[in-house]
Amino acid sequence: MRLASVLAIALATLLLAGPASALSCPQRDPRDLARAVPVVVTGVVETESVFGARVRLDRVYQGRAEQTITVLPGTGNYVGVPWTFYLRRNAVAYSYTDCGGSRPGSMTPEERAFFGGGSAPTPDQQLFGPTGNTVAGLGALAAILLLMSRRRGRRPPLTPAGAHP
């Protein structure tokens, strides 16, 4: 009897629940989304890997961003698909949350009305940008000096000329 009641409750739950209602995000107002993040952009996903998605930006609607950015987590293999991103800047890349407004596709008419025409992204910096290049260069110099200092300790001791061991 107990098993039958559990099965009846499970069946009723499956039949009465809305389709994927627990897995979808509620529609949010662009003003609320814009307050939650510093960067809003649109672009096309160029590549996808375990390290994130590489995105070529078309327009920047809020904040500043370069023409090509890395977004974490990845988009789930949407290479070649336009996206609208609501982003936060991390030390390494940009990040977004599932229900934070980011999604495949162009901006909605409500978003376009709120954000306007946007602006062009800034040109890409080479490698890590000016600050990142300085840090990378200093790190490489420190690594070379460390390797040179460790190498000195591995040489056999010098023996005087004419001395026998």
Structural domains of the chain ordered from first start: 24-129 (2.40.50.120)
Does the pLDDT value for residue 20 go beyond 50? no
CA end-to-end span of the chain: 93
Does the pLDDT value for residue 16 go beyond 50? no
What pLDDT, on a 0 to 100 scale, did the predictor assign at position 119? 93
Q: Is residue 82 within 8 Å of residue 103, measured between CB atoms? A: no
Q: Is residue 74 within 8 Å of residue 54, measured between CB atoms? A: no
| Predicted confidence band of residue 67 (pLDDT cuts 50, 70, 90) | very high
What pLDDT, on a 0 to 100 scale, did the predictor assign at position 39? 95
Task: Please tell me which residue, 79 or 77, carries the higher pLDDT value.
Answer: 79
Task: Please tell me which residue, 17 or 112, carries the higher pLDDT value.
Answer: 112
Convert 11-27 to b/e letters by CB count within 10 Å (16 or more is b).
eeeeeeeeeeeeeeeee
